Chain A
Amino acid sequence: MAYVATRGGERAIEQSERLYRAELGRIDAARVTAVRQTLPMLIDRVMGEASLYEPDLAALALAQSGGDLYEAVLLLRAWRTTQPRLGIAEPVEQEQLVTHRRISAAFKDIPGGQILGPSLDYSHRLLATGVLQGHPFEPRPVEPAATPAPARQPSLAAWQKAQGLVADPPRAEVAPDDIPDLTREPLLFPAARAHTLQSLARADTGGMLALGYSAMRGYGNAHPTVNELRLAEAELRVRHPRGTVFSAGRVKVSQAEVMAKGKSGLLELGFCATLGWNEVKVISGATLDLNAPGAAKGSPVEEEFFLYHTEPVEASGFCIHFKLPHYVTFQSSLDALRGARGAAAPIPEQAPEPEEVTA
């Protein structure tokens, strides 16, 4: 009897991939454009988790994976790995953000004003089934305000600091080149602040929500109040080799500050920001950040716990790896189990004559 002379594994994986792709059909530029134009929130979510701001590539990744978000994020992360680093952008201050939406739950009104901006928050969640019966859903035109809100808004936390409500620790000035980079260094604990924020920025939206929600329900000490939530565009300012700083374009960003009264008698802030517009993620992330100081080991609001467990590529990859064969490990456990029972592994009947393989 021949052993496995055929390369069964190679054929199987090839055909398995073809089967999946047959369902998706041909992918062309038009499909990618359609994905990009019709699903901006999904594109934002994927770009944030991939930590790669490129709507066309994000749309391509979604088209190529058929909308499997974890696959799409992995495609983008793996592509990102291969790209050279040309420069490091200048830091962006909150006051410089071109702000589309900015709300605070802490005060009725705030310096600069509450700006509702684009949101489904107060929409009635009625499915527009008419679309399926041939009546397209035409959005009604936006009526511009008599006086448009200023594009740039002050930071509420700056006002609170000036009032002595929020601690204002001395700022450590770090040159952009010296900011620790999570994608080039391992995450160790206690984590560098930059690593924490980077890790939150690329965390899995659903995972962050689950753990953030657990904190909101009481598995964290601090009950969050949204101090400021922003959806904005940030200018990407880079330094030309000759020294001039210029704008290379804008990226959509979201950020949330949540706060609670701390033991010190001051307000304490939790912060999270990410690429793209993703409110659930930044509010959850900021809540975890707020609850992290002093959290017990193994609690969902402990930094090590939530940063490790909300990493989308690691978590999803490990989850699906359990599909891989584990029969060697199982065989090893089975042996211990049988040994403990005092029963030796059964010897097959009619075994062929043994042949020595010792060269």
Chain B
Amino acid sequence: MTIATLTKPWQAFSYGFLDASAKRELRRKMLKAIAVPGCQMPYASREVPMARGWGTGGLQVTLTLLKPSSVVKVIDQGADDSVNAASIRSFLSKVSGAAETWDTLAATLIQSRHRIPEERLRADQVLVLQVPNPEPLRPVEPNMSVARQMHADADYGRLWLILYEQIVRSGRIMQGASYPALVNGRHVMTPSPIPRWDLPKLHMAQHLTFLSAGREKRLYAVPPFTRVEPLVFSDVPYKVEDHAALTCHRSGVAGYFMNEIPQDGGGSVFELSDSHLGIKAIRRRDGEDVALGATWYENGKMPR
């Protein structure tokens, strides 16, 4: 045996950037994450050629899943052409040969920061959410070792308490995005900073979702058909953003989550946050034969 037999021919990068051992670790942790929905699984989190906090956790999960026949969509704040989404998408296709798409319907793998597309995801699609802070208890307990014990004890009283205090002070729950949710009746998770509008999309969904925080080295999952219940009080129902009646000033579409664009001289206009849904709606309005998928919300309401 020589040193040469222990190594392999030099190559600039492995397929999909991550080497075999990094992928194996991710696979093991992704399986554990599926087995205990909503429970944060620690992983080593390799350094990747992007800064921490810029989607490195999502990137590692996506890189583990990628194959040449994958079709990847990457969005940031709902937009495919957002600078960091463009950067991640081009990296993914460059290291894997996978096809890129903007169309939710065409994607097999969707990596997203802060949004879940408006078109319903199917059983054959996997959603990967980038997570800045995986710990829903951070506002009440910044120490991760203590927070771990609280999860072990299902000790979520202090989280309920801050929601209750918000109601007392402000007359409503003031939590914006990252609304904490109880998964499979056992673990409270943060769904990443998706708006409240998107959280019900994870409840009893058709698709599998991975949530991965590269900097904080934690990943968790919401398998299909898993209960995801926002923490609410029985007499104060869960309230999504009041966007149902807003209309996109570009596409004319109404009933979805919108970006507000402040205007000179006061007032605002709104545009669809799911940018490619907007593009498709415009194309269809202009007479093109474009398929729009079924959406989670219908007429601004989430059917139950």
Contacts and interface: CB of A to CB of B under 8 A. Distances in A.
Given A320-B51, A340-B174, A328 B25 contact: no
Nearest to A345: B242
Given A317-B52, A336-B172, A351 B81 contact: no
Given A186-B44, A328-B115, A358-B298, A241 B51 contact: no
Interface string A310-343: 0001101111110011111111111111111000
A240 interface: yes
B84 A324 contact: yes
B21 interface: yes
A355 B242 contact: no
Contacts of A80: 47
B254 A354 contact: yes
Range class of the A interface residue count? 35 or more
A78 B170 CA distance: 46
A344 interface: yes
B281 to A, nearest CB: 5
B110 to A, nearest CB: 16
Nearest to B275: A4
A317 B253 CA distance: 37
B171 A9 contact: no
Interface string B273-294: 1010111011001000001111
Contact of A189 (B48, B144, B259): B144
A10 to B, nearest CB: 4
Contacts of B178: 329
A55 B275 CA distance: 46
Interface in B45-60: 45-54, 56
B176 A313 contact: no
A64 B236 CA distance: 55
B203 interface: no
A353 B19 contact: no
B52 A3 contact: no
A83 to B, nearest CB: 8
A321 B55 CA distance: 9
Interface in A1-49: 1-10, 12-13, 16
Contacts of B42: 186, 188
A327 B294 contact: no
A124 interface: no
Nearest to A82: B13
B270 interface: yes
Could you tell me the dominant secondary structure of chain B's interface residues? loop
Contacts of A298: 142-143
Interface residues of B, number: 107
A304 interface: yes
A304 B145 contact: yes
Contacts of B19: 81-82, 84
A41 B86 CA distance: 37
B48 A78 contact: yes
Interface stretch (B181-189, B226-234, B244-252): B244-252
A312 to B, nearest CB: 10
Given A7-B86, A324-B76, A349 B267 contact: yes
Given A4-B81, A329-B178, A348-B270, A357 B245 contact: no
B90 A10 contact: yes
Nearest to B8: A84
Contact of A329 (B50, B86, B177): B177
Contact of A3 (B54, B76, B250): B250
A356 interface: yes
A337 B42 CA distance: 35
A247 interface: no
Contacts of B53: 314, 317-321
B93 to A, nearest CB: 12
Given A340-B174, A354-B254, 20 more contacts: A4-B81, A7-B86, A9-B82, A9-B83, A82-B19, A313-B47, A317-B54, A324-B113, A325-B77, A326-B114, A328-B273, A331-B273, A332-B193, A336-B175, A346-B267, A347-B246, A351-B269, A352-B252, A354-B247, A358-B294
18 contacts: A16-B83, A74-B47, A78-B49, A82-B14, A298-B142, A313-B52, A318-B53, A325-B82, A332-B176, A333-B174, A340-B172, A345-B243, A345-B268, A352-B252, A354-B252, A355-B285, A356-B255, A357-B295
6 closest A-B pairs by CB: A317-B52, A321-B53, A333-B176, A186-B42, A332-B176, A77-B47
Interface of A: 1-10, 12-13, 16, 74-75, 77-78, 80-82, 84-87, 182-190, 240-242, 297-298, 304, 308, 313-314, 316-321, 324-340, 344-349, 351-359
Interface of B: 1-3, 5-8, 12-14, 17-19, 21-22, 25, 42-54, 56, 76-87, 90, 113-115, 132, 142-146, 170-178, 193-197, 215, 217, 239, 241-243, 245-247, 249-260, 263, 267-270, 273, 275, 277-279, 281-282, 285, 291-295, 298-299
